[in-house]
Amino acid sequence: MGRIASLFNKVKAENRSAFIAYICAGDPDPDTSYRLAEELIQSGVDILELGVPFSDPLADGLTNQLAAQRALDAGVGPDAVFGLVEKLRENYDTPIVFYTYYNLVFSQGVQAYVERAKGVGVDGILVLDLPPEEAEEMEAVNKALGMDSILIIAPTTRDDRIQSIVSHASGFIYYVSREGVTGERDAMASGMAEAIGRIRAHTDLPVAVGFGISKPEHVKAVGAIADGVIVGSSLVRCIEENAEQPDEAVSALGERARWLISGLESRG
């Protein structure tokens, strides 16, 4: 059993949802990025989702786009991203997921990319712009190497499409709670419980919810019905606001993560 499956079994036994944190690898620079990732793990994050810096992150809102640009401006490329995971694995066993775009995989060769990711300790890959119908090679390589294929379902996804998507997925399903790009929201999307129920009718995989979660009350509400709560922009903004002051960035990120995690409750 891989790290992701083991983690979801663990939190299920604890009768709670998993907290999944997103930051962009290499933001604002490689050394600070390692400290930030370490701070998240030490703050109690269950799964670490690392965005791989890309010049055209079309699924991301402005906060995450700027994070990718800061990383690219700092010279962060594939070697630095893989090196970050490798360094984290020296001390931590927390599941790690890559959040990436297909050009970054394809340009290195699917087999070579997944082999390298697996070799440094990545547990799952979410390719934002690769639909299941075009992912035969990626899926086959992931399956052969024991890499989880994380796939996305949106509020507009039809039931027949849900069935198709979950048949290609492993690890967990990423449910995007609202249409559009990533970003913080003041209010949660409606119809979430119904949507999660529709997904669970087609799969036993855990369902994690992301997009727009920015407060402990959001975490509490989502955690009561989903298997995982995904927070990104709210955390990335802490880095943006302190990008020139690494110590402050680390401190602010840890404080924000613990504040958000405080929303998680046992389901009783």
Report, as residue numbers or ranges, the catalytic residues: 49, 60
Characterize the bridge pairing of strands 207-210 and 228-231: parallel
**Residues in Cβ contact with 179 at an 8 Å cutoff, skipping those fewer than 6 apart:** 154, 155, 156
Report residue 213 as tokens: 């979660």
φ/ψ of residue 149, rounded to 5: -100, 105
Q: Classify 96 as helix, strand or coil.
A: strand
Report the C-alpha gap between 179 and 162 in whole angstroms: 16
Structure-token pair, residue 31:
């050394």
Nearest to 29 by CA among 61, 82, 88, 69: 69
